[in-house]
Amino acid sequence: MKKILFIVLLLTLNILSIDQTKAFSLECNDLDGSSIFGYDSFEDEYKYIGSISNKYDSNSIANEYGAGSKYETDSINNEYGDFGSKYSSYSAFNEYASYPPIIINDDLEFIGYLTINEYTTPAINSYNALACASESLQSSISEHEDITFEEIPESSYIYEDNSTDSVCIDTENGFLGSDGMCYCNKGYEWSDNENKCIVIINNEVCEDLYGNAYSNNGTCSCKEGYLVNQDTTACITPTESCQELYGESSYSDGVKQDNGLYNCYCKEGYYFNDNMQCALNVIDTTENNTNKTDQSPFYDLLISNKNYTAIIWLYNHSIISGYPDGSFKPENTINRAELLTILVRTTSAAEDLNYAGASVETPPPCFTDVDVDAWYNAYVCTAKKYGWVEGYDNNTFKPDQPVTKAEAIKMLLVIHNIHTTSIIYNSAFEDVKATDWYAPYLQIAKDKAILEETGTYYDPNGNMTRGSISESLYRLMNQ
């Protein structure tokens, strides 16, 4: 579709009150009812008399062309097909009666359109005459009670219509003018993509509708640094979004993650509780507290992190504690000392230990590479006492050694006394053979849905992250 924009002249009209206006090349004079029409009055030219028009002083329009000689008949039917089929009528009148004619002056300004007797009589198709309205013409028009003129005070888009029989494609938000052109109604514009008239979307409209928005290819988008409120569709700041989700005591640093979410934090003195709200930090001084909800969140743990819920739950239940600098490092590889400490805290053996990791009676070193003053000494020795860990041949434990994903899942299941079968007929993952030592553990872990991985590959020899083991432990403890 080809769009032609007609700039509209803002006029104040009272039924065609356009003085000193040129219609194309025609000089507009103060009409006396005959200079343009050649008849006594406007009414005589277009007065409806049965199915004839006085314009031709005959009972047939054929006399315009000389007794029908042009069409070798005494009616105009043959020009348009039997019974005027081109216009779906028995006469040519409906050529101009079906749609209101567009009024345009010589500056191609679209100023309005005319309706006569609700289209039951021939409508006017002379742009020259319409644009050159005079007092006498207005007087003639005023005799017709059903003649109305509607001014179009703002611009309207126009497009060529190439459809069969000049039918306007979009009849809901547009109309066909008497010039064979389709027009979009006020407030609409032609869309080549949608092939119809659509609401004009500009920056002002977007700003009014959503605030802090702009027009982007016919749709409204939030400005940089803003995002859509799913309930009100308004464009809001990241902090406002955080506050709607996590309470007024939350805020955002304005940093957007790869998943499109903004970082959300609790203000100083608040923490994320089990209900995922920023709650006031009230210090709990009771001994042996096993449900610590008095700690601030780790500064590097974002709500958008896929393991956030699991980590916060474990933290609130005194199972994980993070690093002294206030971080958790969820993407870091977990080592043997860290993993064993976390797992021991989930068992009844933790009753012999306090939250800081010291036993009531500090045990002597149980491995040659575990110092008696190491923060994990009590946990490692407790695990050895219960037979959960044996160490290596030279009585070493290698506390700083990274733990593979397969090793971590085995330790998790063993400490929680979850038995496996030693016979695996079909491996749970394509990269795990049925004969691999870890195949039974991964099989039951997948069956119990405690693994993050849902695909066909697991990467058993890859390093286990602190966030991933937190997720598996959280799922297991909440079954």
Mean pLDDT, the chain cut into blocks of 10 residues (479 residues total):
29 28 29 31 34 36 38 39 32 36 48 46 35 41 46 41 41 63 67 68 73 74 76 78 82 74 74 71 41 55 84 88 84 93 86 51 78 86 88 89 94 88 72 89 89 88 95 91
Residues 97 and 232 in one domain: no
Is residue 122 in some structural domain? yes
347 assigned to some structural domain? no
Of 143, 176, 198, which residue sits at a domain end?
198
Identify whether 432 is part of a domain: no
Structural domain contains residue 85 = no
Q: Are 144 and 225 found together in one domain? A: no
Query: Would 380 be classed as within a structural domain?
Result: no
Q: Are 216 and 163 in the same domain?
A: no
Whether residue 105 is found in the same domain as residue 141: yes
Q: Are residues 171 and 136 in the same domain?
A: yes
Q: What is d(CA 38, CA 35) in angstroms, rounded to the nearest whole number?
A: 6
Same domain, 116 and 226: no
In the listed set 220, 236, 252, which residue is the last one of a domain according to the structure?
Answer: 236
- Domain-located, residue 315: no
Split into its structural domains, the chain has a count of 2
The whole domain housing 216 covers: 201-236
State the Cα–Cα distance between residues 50 and 175, nearest whole angstrom.
28
Predicted confidence at residue 40, as pLDDT, reads 35
Backbone angles phi, psi at 159, to 5 degrees: -140, 150
What is the reported pLDDT for 464? 96
The per-residue pLDDT for 274 is: 63
Give me the pLDDT at residue 6, please: 29
Which pLDDT score, from 0 to 100, does residue 415 have? 92
Assess whether 185 and 215 both reside in one domain. Answer: no
SS (H, E, C) 252-315: CCCCECCCCCECCEECCCEEECCCCCEEECCCCCCCCCCCCCCCCCCCCCCCCCCCHHHHHHHH
The whole-angstrom separation of Cα 426 and Cα 47 is 92
Residues 235, 275 contacting (CB under 8 angstroms): no
Claim to verify: residue 110 and residue 207 sit in the same structural domain: no
Asked whether residue 361 is assigned to any structural domain, the reply reads no
Place of tokens 């309706």: 115
Could you tell me if residue 12 is inside a domain?
yes
Both 25 and 127 in one domain: the answer is yes
pLDDT at 466: 95
Q: What is the dihedral of CA 247, 273, 303, 249, to 10 degrees?
A: 30
Same domain, 165 and 219: no
Residues 119 and 9 in one domain: yes
What's the confidence (pLDDT) of residue 338?
93
* Residues 205 and 97 reside in one and the same domain: no
Decide: 298 and 326 in contact? Cβ < 8 Å: yes
Which of 209, 236, 263 marks a domain boundary?
A: 236
pLDDT at residue 86 in the model: 33
CA distance 226 to 434: 51
